[in-house]
Structure 1
Amino acid sequence: MKKQKIALIDIGSNSIRLVIFHLDESGYYREIQNLKVVARLSSHINDEGDLTNKGLHVLLTTLQKFQEITRTYELSKVKCVATAAIRQAKNQREILTTVTKMTDFTIRVLSEYEEAFFGYLAVTNSTSIQDGITIDIGGGSTEVTLFKDRKLLHYHSFPFGAISLKKKFINSEIPTLQELLKLRLFLTEQFQSLQWLNQEEIPVVGIGGSARNLSLINQKKTNYALSGLHQYVMHYENLKEITNHLNQLTVKERQSTDGLTKDRADIIIPAAEAITTLMEVSGGKTFIMSNKGLRDGLFYEEVFKQLNIDFFPSVAEESFFQLTRDYEINIDQVKYLSKLAAQLFYELKGIFKHDLIGEDLRLLHLSSRVLYLGECISHEASSQHTFYLLTNLSIDGLTHVERLKIALIASFKSRGSLQTYAKPYEDWFSKNEFEKIELLGAILKFTYSLNRTKREVFSVLKITEMSEEKINLKLIFNKEPYFEENQAQKYKKPLEKILKKRIELHFSNEN
């Protein structure tokens, strides 16, 4: 790959957005610009199906504002795409010609398949979801897909969205029961026309601003303790309750609802009804928010072309690679710590009171990748900063529970600090799970002490003897371990607490 900057412009029916990514030779990327204009192009389509002069003016002035930004960057590529509003406009050719003439950009009008495909691509390469139904509600169209084992099986684009549904079905400020019944009947008939949507137990994955707002409303309502929306999970009952509540509010009252942005207050009801109706038709019990959508799918397409792959083999591993670069983590040191931690994990496997399984080893491995990440801010307060960063970062490929577990393990300092960090999340884990987190944290803290001077001093950790009260642990070194030995004697204490055994350390020179 080559170092480059890629700009993506997404001309949607409700909003127009510019995103610029920096991409380097190794595949590391970061977002350096993200700008949005609420344009409501769908509301500027007249009865003849044309985008009005006013709508064209909104489009042109927005793109001209964007080009003031894009001209300040040395861009390798600009991908400017449009979805339903331009795709459905009868005067599409005139729009495209005018934009090419009056701006720096050439619009690519996405087909229904492409719009659905890029949403699917974003979800399957930024989450751990293997099987799902995606729904992306725009202003003028709604895309749904079905994927299994991360493979796209079916897609469909409906020619209605939040703006057009409101225009067609809801005329009252507070929708009447009759208006809601007509809207629900219409949505049910539309979704039932796709037989492949009947997929019991498969989650519905929401893409886009309306799904994001509904998730935020629920987080605010429940005082959700963990930051981040990506892969946030809601149950159907929660979503239905929020939808019913919004249906009873005026636009002004909706604008004051925590979690709902003012520019969506007038169109959130048809969007919420569409998602709840889809869940009823498909039989899905859970709704999962994807903060990655069409723009991310377009970007992944570009990355995959250059890497000559079809998808990220492991979304979590890719995300941790990006984190490693973001925080300048030494990958060789990470591999060494992970190797030592795995050795100790296997040595303790038959000793710990709970069964240790492959998932526990995976969490240990991932936690080693971000162990004391907070050292990039402060060495003395690295535990606190590590926990804060990991509970406030969105990590693709991890559920919220997994991210919290990794935050607790990677920031582990002592049983007391663990209990303090975990207090807002007391109902997230069983007692057994919490004790496993403590053990994994203690393992990482101890192995961290064995690399105090970053010289990879130890090669083997092995239990040589064990009784009811005591464990003899042999540590074979290949370099003088003076500083590591002092640290290990101190850092073994959390392990002794959770194992309820005294640990005697025996240092041996492999030479």
Structure 2
Amino acid sequence: MTYFKTAIIDIGSNTIRLVLYTYDPQRGLKEVENIKAVARLRNYLQADHVMTEEGIQKLEQVLLFFRDILNDYRIEDVRAIATASIRQAQNGTEIIERMLKKTGIKIELITGEQEAYFGYFAVAHTLATPSAVTIDIGGGSTELTYFRDKELQYSHSFPFGSVSLKQQFIEGDTMTKEEGEKIYEFAKKKFEILPWLNNIKLPVVGIGGSARNMAKLDQRKKDYPISGVHQYEMTKEDFTSISQEVLSLSFEELMQLDGLSSDRADIIVPVLEVFQALMDVVGSETFQFSRKGLREGLVIERILKKNPTAFNKKNVFERSTKFLAAEFDKPLEKTAHFVRLTEIAYFEFCKIGAFLYNAEDLHMLKQAARLFHIGEYIEVDAASQHTFYLLSNRSIDGISHEQRVHLALLASYKNRDDFSRYSEPFMEWFSKGEFKKMRDIGALLKFVYALDASKRNIVESIAMEQSGDNIELTIFTTGNAMAEMYQADRQKKHINRIFKGEVTLHYIKREE
């Protein structure tokens, strides 16, 4: 599949979103625009489940606005989907026909099971977590899935959501303690009906806006040093602390709370009770967040139908680094030789005891080699700083936030001083031993990068031998290695510090 632009219109019970995506086989899937309209269509469903004329007109106005945007962006490839609000409306068919006639936008009504499946599909292809329970709380429905080893086992859609729970249980703008207890018991009883949920002790992965707001609130409270909520994790204790804080605030205070969207101020509290109930039923101690959900699941499935190798849910991290490297002008063909040399060097360092071989360390090292100093794309002289900022603050599918910082520290390595400066906000994330190992592996990367100075694959291989405290490092070349020799001599100091003795470099030119 070649480059294309596409749009998803997601008609939910609380919000309606227009999200524009681009896809490039070299650089992957990117969200380029995300426009939200808060419509609260669930509020326009009457007791007989007929949507009022006012609600239908609001939907029409939003779709006409989105149509103008699509025309301005010249995007013809559009998929509009409707979930619980239209699904539960007795006049849903008439609404869909009217929207097509009035706006030219054809709406596809998806089932609760489809909604659950595509949410799972996005999580499986963008998170490293092998097994989990997912929850997506919309305005009028709640979708759950359970997957193991990235394969879907069960799914279910409940006909209640944040807006409908507020309507059913909460009288004022803010929830009382008694109302919260009723919502908790209501959700818990619903979840306990599903035998596959009970006490399976897996992480719970939250999808959608309400989960995203939870993550932002926790990050605000902790003065979190990096950005992004995708793959962010909270403990059950963190969750309880946030719940207590939110419950203590008035509606006006919630409206002003940093990290919480003002349009969710009145529905975040019932959502917290539902999350708590699910964690208790599952027996989960960890709550994770996925920024990717229904919309991404729809687009990823489409891409995979055209190109079955475009995404691999078993190999998420490697795919992410491949796309990221290509985006910053380091495609695989440019970095393959450097990655191979780095792997050889790692094994040689392990051979003489500088490192204790670890498959996870090698895996992270190879990904860091792919992305080493990608900040050169922005500015060569400040490549290290740009690299660290980009990697530590950019959402990278398939790794946790701790692993993301680990990757950034390796790929940005320049010297010990800069490493210490970058590490300073994360001193509680890693042990002293872990920091030392990252610093030494970063030094290895910096030295091997010097061996590829002219980007002509001149250095074929290296070998190391130890005699007492002294290290003999032989570098095998296949051509004029003047640039590599100059840079290697300059950067030798980085690996000298790993050993007690002196490292001596020898160059051997292979015969043609």
Range class of TM-score, shorter chain: over 0.9
| Match in the other structure for 1:490 | 490
The amino acid that maps onto 2:99 is V
Can you list the C-alpha shifts for 1:442-483, whole angstroms capped at 9, x where unaligned?
Answer: 1110111011111111111001x3123210000010111111
| Match in the other structure for 2:479 | 479
| Match in the other structure for 1:425 | 426
| Alpha-carbon shift at residue 179 of structure 1 (Å) | 1.3
| Match in the other structure for 1:118 | 118
Are the aligned partners of 2:473 and 2:505 in contact in 1 as well (CA < 8 Å)? yes
- Structure 2 residue 306 is the aligned partner of structure 1 residue 306: yes
Equivalences for residues 180-329 of structure 1 within 5 A: 180-308=180-308, 312=312, 313-329=314-330
| Alpha-carbon shift at residue 309 of structure 1 (Å) | 5.4
| Match in the other structure for 2:141 | 141
Are the aligned partners of 1:438 and 1:498 in contact in 2 as well (CA < 8 Å)? no
| Match in the other structure for 1:362 | 363
**CA distance in 2 between partners of 1:25 and 1:415 (Å):** 37
TM-score, normalized by length of structure 2? 0.97
Are the aligned partners of 1:374 and 1:382 in contact in 2 as well (CA < 8 Å)? yes
**CA distance in 2 between partners of 1:304 and 1:330 (Å):** 21
| Match in the other structure for 2:54 | 54
| Alpha-carbon shift at residue 177 of structure 1 (Å) | 2.5
The amino acid that maps onto 1:393 is R
Are the aligned partners of 2:387 and 2:408 in contact in 1 as well (CA < 8 Å)? yes
| Alpha-carbon shift at residue 249 of structure 1 (Å) | 1.4
- Structure 2 residue 382 is the aligned partner of structure 1 residue 385: no
Are the aligned partners of 2:133 and 2:147 in contact in 1 as well (CA < 8 Å)? yes
**CA distance in 2 between partners of 1:254 and 1:47 (Å):** 29
DSSP-derived class of the 2:144 partner? strand
**CA distance in 1 between partners of 2:302 and 2:28 (Å):** 13
| Match in the other structure for 2:167 | 167
Can you list the C-alpha shifts for 1:111-146, whole angstroms capped at 9, x where unaligned?
Answer: 111000010001000010100000000000000000
| Match in the other structure for 1:462 | 463
**CA distance in 1 between partners of 2:95 and 2:435 (Å):** 59
| Match in the other structure for 1:13 | 13
- Using a 3 Å threshold, how does the CA distance of structure 1 residues 194 and 302 change in structure 2: closer, same or farther? same
| Alpha-carbon shift at residue 351 of structure 1 (Å) | 3.1
**CA distance in 1 between partners of 2:428 and 2:189 (Å):** 40
Q: How many residues align?
A: 510
**CA distance in 2 between partners of 1:459 and 1:372 (Å):** 22
Are the aligned partners of 1:28 and 1:325 in contact in 2 as well (CA < 8 Å)? no
Which segment is superposed worse, 477-486 or 26-35?
26-35
DSSP-derived class of the 1:195 partner? coil
The amino acid that maps onto 1:457 is I
**CA distance in 1 between partners of 2:378 and 2:24 (Å):** 24
Which segment is superposed worse, 229-238 or 328-337?
328-337
| Match in the other structure for 2:78 | 78
**CA distance in 2 between partners of 1:92 and 1:85 (Å):** 9
| Alpha-carbon shift at residue 332 of structure 1 (Å) | 2.0
Are the aligned partners of 1:435 and 1:498 in contact in 2 as well (CA < 8 Å)? no
DSSP-derived class of the 2:427 partner? helix
- Using a 3 Å threshold, how does the CA distance of structure 1 residues 53 and 62 change in structure 2: closer, same or farther? same
Can you list the C-alpha shifts for 1:279-304, whole angstroms capped at 9, x where unaligned?
Answer: 01110100001010111001111111
Are the aligned partners of 1:5 and 1:74 in contact in 2 as well (CA < 8 Å)? no
Query: Unaligned regions of 5+ residues in structure 2, if any?
Result: none
DSSP-derived class of the 1:498 partner? coil
Are the aligned partners of 1:21 and 1:29 in contact in 2 as well (CA < 8 Å)? yes
**CA distance in 2 between partners of 1:320 and 1:170 (Å):** 46
| Match in the other structure for 2:30 | 30
DSSP-derived class of the 1:81 partner? strand
Can you list the C-alpha shifts for 1:328-374, whole angstroms capped at 9, x where unaligned?
Answer: 21422311111001111001114345523000100110001110011
**CA distance in 1 between partners of 2:295 and 2:72 (Å):** 21
- Using a 3 Å threshold, how does the CA distance of structure 1 residues 485 and 332 change in structure 2: closer, same or farther? same
| Alpha-carbon shift at residue 57 of structure 1 (Å) | 0.8
**CA distance in 2 between partners of 1:353 and 1:432 (Å):** 14
Are the aligned partners of 2:96 and 2:106 in contact in 1 as well (CA < 8 Å)? yes
Which segment is superposed worse, 483-492 or 19-28?
19-28
**CA distance in 2 between partners of 1:402 and 1:27 (Å):** 21
| Match in the other structure for 1:449 | 450
**CA distance in 1 between partners of 2:317 and 2:78 (Å):** 28
- Using a 3 Å threshold, how does the CA distance of structure 1 residues 199 and 318 change in structure 2: closer, same or farther? farther
Are the aligned partners of 2:326 and 2:332 in contact in 1 as well (CA < 8 Å)? no
Can you list the C-alpha shifts for 1:181-210, whole angstroms capped at 9, x where unaligned?
Answer: 211111111111111112433000000000
CA RMSD of aligned residues (A): 1.4
| Alpha-carbon shift at residue 76 of structure 1 (Å) | 5.3
| Match in the other structure for 1:407 | 408
Query: Unaligned regions of 5+ residues in structure 1, if any?
Result: none
| Match in the other structure for 1:435 | 436
**CA distance in 1 between partners of 2:149 and 2:202 (Å):** 12
- Using a 3 Å threshold, how does the CA distance of structure 1 residues 338 and 27 change in structure 2: closer, same or farther? closer
Which segment is superposed worse, 169-178 or 140-149?
169-178
The amino acid that maps onto 2:422 is Y
TM-score, normalized by length of structure 1? 0.97
- Using a 3 Å threshold, how does the CA distance of structure 1 residues 177 and 107 change in structure 2: closer, same or farther? same
DSSP-derived class of the 1:136 partner? strand
Are the aligned partners of 1:352 and 1:499 in contact in 2 as well (CA < 8 Å)? no
DSSP-derived class of the 1:304 partner? helix
**CA distance in 2 between partners of 1:286 and 1:105 (Å):** 41
**CA distance in 2 between partners of 1:499 and 1:46 (Å):** 75
**CA distance in 2 between partners of 1:158 and 1:283 (Å):** 20
- Using a 3 Å threshold, how does the CA distance of structure 1 residues 4 and 173 change in structure 2: closer, same or farther? closer
**CA distance in 2 between partners of 1:482 and 1:26 (Å):** 33
**CA distance in 2 between partners of 1:120 and 1:346 (Å):** 38
The amino acid that maps onto 1:279 is M
Can you list the C-alpha shifts for 1:244-299, whole angstroms capped at 9, x where unaligned?
Answer: 22112111111122211111000000111111110011101000010101110011
The amino acid that maps onto 1:240 is T
**CA distance in 1 between partners of 2:442 and 2:487 (Å):** 16
Identity %: 40
The amino acid that maps onto 2:376 is E
- Using a 3 Å threshold, how does the CA distance of structure 1 residues 380 and 26 change in structure 2: closer, same or farther? closer
The amino acid that maps onto 1:338 is V
Can you list the C-alpha shifts for 1:67-102, whole angstroms capped at 9, x where unaligned?
Answer: 001123443521110100000001111101100101
**CA distance in 1 between partners of 2:421 and 2:441 (Å):** 17
DSSP-derived class of the 1:360 partner? helix
